[in-house]
């Protein structure tokens, strides 16, 4: 709301929020590791389909959208690259919070990260040729 209304925070509030924001990534990685360590990796049809969707279909969909929506080439490359990033920890947090199949979600995160070593390298090579 502060951003939308162009109201700036005082220095103390800004420093406190900056401190919280700078630690958020580390806390998210720690929490993801803690949850993943509680489950065995399982490769099944759900995990494979979600991994293909996350690492292949999602970037291809981003390519299709960037060809339809008139945006700058730099913005399009950034959007496609972000779509190629592997599945993150939010799925695990939602699965744990809502008592869903967190073992499958964790397996998707692991598989998606492993496969993204190839798909992300291909995306970078295609989007940013040197």
Sign of CA pseudo-dihedral 77, 80, 82, 84 = negative
Going from N- to C-terminal start, the domains of the chain cover 40-127
Looking at the chain, list the stretches that DSSP marks H as alpha helix, in order from N- to C-terminal side. 2-5, 11-36, 45-52, 58-68, 73-83, 90-97, 102-127
Residue in 80, 43, 73, 77 with CA at minimum distance from that of residue 58: 80
pLDDT at 39: 81
Rg (CA), the chain: 18
Average pLDDT over residues 76-94: 87
pLDDT digits over 15-68, tens only?
888 888 888 878 877 877 887 788 889 999 999 999 999 999 999 999 999 999
pTM of the model: 0.73
């Amino acid at each position: 709301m502060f951003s939308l209304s162009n109201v700036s925070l005082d220095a103390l509030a800004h420093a406190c929020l900056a401190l919280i924001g700078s630690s958020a990534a580390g806390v998210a990685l720690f929490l993801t590791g803690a949850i993943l360590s509680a489950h065995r990796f399982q490769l099944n049809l759900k995990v494979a389909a979600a991994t293909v969707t996350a690492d292949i279909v999602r970037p291809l969909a981003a390519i299709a959208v960037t060809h339809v929506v008139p945006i700058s080439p730099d913005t399009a490359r950034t959007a496609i690259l972000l779509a190629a990033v592997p599945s993150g920890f939010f799925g695990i947090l939602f699965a744990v919070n809502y008592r869903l199949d967190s073992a499958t979600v964790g397996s998707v995160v692991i598989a998606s990260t492993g496969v993204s070593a190839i798909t992300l390298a291909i995306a970078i090579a295609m989007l940013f040729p040197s």
